[in-house]
A and B are shown apart, each in its own frame.
Chain A
Amino acid sequence: MLFKRELRRNVKSFIVSCLICSLMVVYVISIAPSFGEDIQQIIDLKFPKPLQKAFGISELDFSNPVGFFGLMFSYIYLFFSIYTAGVFSSIVSKEFTEKTAEYLFSLPANRIQIMISKLLVAIIYALLTIIILYGLTIFSFTLFINDSYNQTPLFLMALSWLIGGITFGSIAFLVSSFFSKPRTISAISAGMVMVMYMFQVIISMNKKLENLKYISPFDWFKGSDIANSGTISSTYILIAITISISCLIVGIIRFNKKDVLV
C-alpha cells in the first residue's frame, strides 16, 4: 500500500523529468543529420578550445552520429541528476518536514522497511526514466540516422546516467537526514549537483587540477570518452556503487534513529 502510494505520489515529477529528457534526446538526434560534419567547423569558430574542453566537446567526433549525440550527454546527465537528487532527498525527509511521520510510524511497520519501500520507488523511477530514454534514443537513431552506428556507446551513456544519477540521489538522501527544513534540503541537494558540475568544468579547463577528477561524478562518465572508446571505467562504476550503498545505509541508520518531533 505504501509502495503504491509512493509510486502515485512521485509520478508527476517522473513524467516531467522524463518528458524534458526525452525532448532533449529526440531534438539532438533529429538535428544531427542536418549538421553533418559542418558542426565541427561551427564549434571551432564559436567556442575557443579551453571552453570546448570544459564542456567535454573537444574530443567528440562529429562525423559520427554517436559522437554528435555525445554533445548532449552531459546536459541530460546534469538534468537527470538534479531530478534524482530531488526525489531521493525528499522521499523520506518529506514525512518529517510535512509532519506525517508521526502517523506513518504509528502504523505496524518498522522504519527500515518503510524507508526501503520508499527508496525502491525512487530507484524504480530512475531506472524507468533511463529505460525510456535509451529506448527513445535507439528509436530516434533508427528514425533519423541513415548511417550505420554502434549501439554500445549509446547503452553505456544511458548506464552512466543511471549510475551517476543514483549516486547523486544517494548522496542527497544522506544529506536530507541531517536537515529538517524542506527548503534547505532541496537547495542543498540541487546545489550539490550544480557545484559538482561546475567543479568538473573547472577541472577540465585546468590540467593542474586533474588529480581532483575523482571528486565529481560528472568527471567519472564523459560523453566524449564513451563515444570514442565505447567503454566506461569499471573503477568509477565501483566507486559510484560503493558511495551509493554507503550513503543509503548511513541515511537509513540516521532516519531510523531520528526523533519524530511535531
Chain B
Amino acid sequence: MINIKIENVTKSYGKIKAVDNLTISVEEGEIYGFIGPNGAGKSTTIRMMMNFIKADQGNITLLGLHPQKNEIQLKKQIGYVPADTFMYSDMKVNDLFKFSENFHQVPAKEKINQLVEILDIDLNKRFEQLSFGNRKKVSIACAMLHSPKLILLDEPSNGLDPVIRIKLYELLKEEQKKGVTIFFSSHVLSEVQKFCSRIGLLKNGKLIKETTVADFTNIGYRQVHIESKEEINLAALKGVAAIHKQGNSTHFMYSGNPNELIRLLNTIDIISFNIEEPDLENVFMHYFEEGKEVLNVI
C-alpha cells in the first residue's frame, strides 16, 4: 500500500519555485529520507503534506486521504515533528502532552510514559525553561504519543545530543516494525545512510535522484586521500572527479583503472594514502558542489 503519494506538486513564492513538479511515492512501513541543501524545498514539501501550505499545482495523498478534504481524519493518524520547535511557552511539558492527547482523543498515558523514559523528558518544566534539544524531544513525543501510522519529521535530530539521537532512531525503527511509514528530511547524512531504506535528493525544488541508499553510494567511484611531499598531477589519470587540494593533501573521487592509480603513486613521495568506499556524505557533497553535478551518476 502506498502511504505517501505526491504527484506533480509545484509551489512558488513569487517567481521562485520552492517545489517544482515533485513526484514521490512511499510504501507502507518504509523509511524515506529526504535530503538536499538548504532552500531545496524539503520543509515546504512536508508543510504541504501537513496542509500548512497549499500547493499551486499537483496532488498529495497520505494514507489514501486528501490533506485538505480529510484534514481531521488524517491528522489523527499523522505525527509531525517540525524543524524549529515552537510550543506554548507558558505550559508545563506534562500539560502539553495532555493538550495533544486531548485533541487526539486516544488514551496515551502508557505511550507518554514510554516516550518520557526513552527520551529522558522532564515533565514538570515549563516549555520556555527547556533548551533547544529538550524542546525537540517534547515535540517528538507529542508527535508520537497517539501512535500514528505516518510520521513526518523535518530535521528531527537537529539539536539532539548523540545518545538521544541514537535512541530516537531506535524508537523510529521500532515504529517501522509495526508498519508505520516514516518520512524525514535530514542534513545528518550518515544517519540517513544507516536508517533509511530509500532516499530522495532534492535540489532547487526538483527531485534529482531517488534511489536506495546502497545504490546511491555504489556509484563506481572510490574516495581517494593522498598526503604527499610534492604536488600531484592528476591530469593524465582517467576517471578522476571532484578534486580537492589543500596544502599537501589531495582528495578526489576515482572510477578508473586501479593499476594506473598505483603507477602514478609510485612516481611520487607519499606521506599517507587511503582509498575507501564513499559514504553518503561524500557523494552528497559532490552532487551539490558549487551548484553543479560533479559526478556523472544521475
Q: Is A261 an interface residue (CB 8 A)?
A: yes
Q: Which of A98, A103, A109, A110 has the most CB of B within 10 A?
A: A103
A259 to B139, CA, bound (A): 21
Instruction: For residue A219, give the distance in angstroms from its CB to the closest CB of chain B.
Output: 40
Q: Is the CB of B104 within 8 A of A261?
A: no
Main secondary structure of the interface of A (DSSP, over half): loop
Contacting residue for A100 out of B51, B54, B88, B105, CB 8 A: B88
Question: Would you list which residues of chain A between 92 and 133 have a CB under 8 Å from chain B?
Answer: 98-103, 105-110
Q: Is the CB of B52 within 8 A of A108?
A: no
Q: Is the CB of A108 within 8 A of B103?
A: yes
Q: Is the CB of B80 within 8 A of A106?
A: yes
4 interchain residue pairs of minimum CB distance: A260-B52, A99-B86, A107-B103, A108-B75
Contacting residue for A110 out of B47, B72, B139, CB 8 A: B72
Q: Is the CB of A259 within 8 A of B53?
A: yes
Q: Is the CB of A1 within 8 A of B52?
A: no
Q: Is the CB of A103 within 8 A of B86?
A: yes
Question: Which residues in B have their C-beta under 8 angstroms from that of A42?
Answer: none
Q: Is the CB of B84 within 8 A of A262?
A: yes
Question: Which residues in B have their C-beta under 8 angstroms from that of A9?
Answer: 90
Classify chain B: how many residues form its interface, as a range: 20 to 34
Q: Is A5 an interface residue (CB 8 A)?
A: yes
Q: Is the CB of B87 within 8 A of A103?
A: yes
Which residue from chain A places its CB closest to the CB of B90 in the assembled complex?
A9
Contacting residue for B82 out of A2, A5, A110, A262, CB 8 A: A262
Q: Is the CB of B54 within 8 A of A259?
A: yes
Q: Which of B51, B52, B80, B104 has the most CB of A within 10 A?
A: B52
Q: Is A257 an interface residue (CB 8 A)?
A: yes
Q: Is the CB of A100 within 8 A of B86?
A: yes
Question: Would you list which residues of chain A between 237 and 262 have a CB under 8 Å from chain B?
Answer: 257, 259-262
Instruction: For residue A247, give the distance in angstroms from its CB to the closest CB of chain B.
Output: 23
- Sample of 29 A–B contacts (CB below 8 Å): A1-B98, A2-B99, A2-B103, A5-B88, A5-B91, A9-B90, A98-B89, A99-B86, A100-B86, A100-B88, A101-B52, A102-B82, A105-B51, A106-B143, A107-B103, A107-B104, A108-B104, A108-B105, A109-B72, A110-B71, A110-B72, A257-B54, A259-B47, A259-B52, A260-B52, A260-B53, A261-B52, A261-B53, A262-B82
Question: Which residues in A have their C-beta under 8 angstroms from that of B76?
Answer: 108
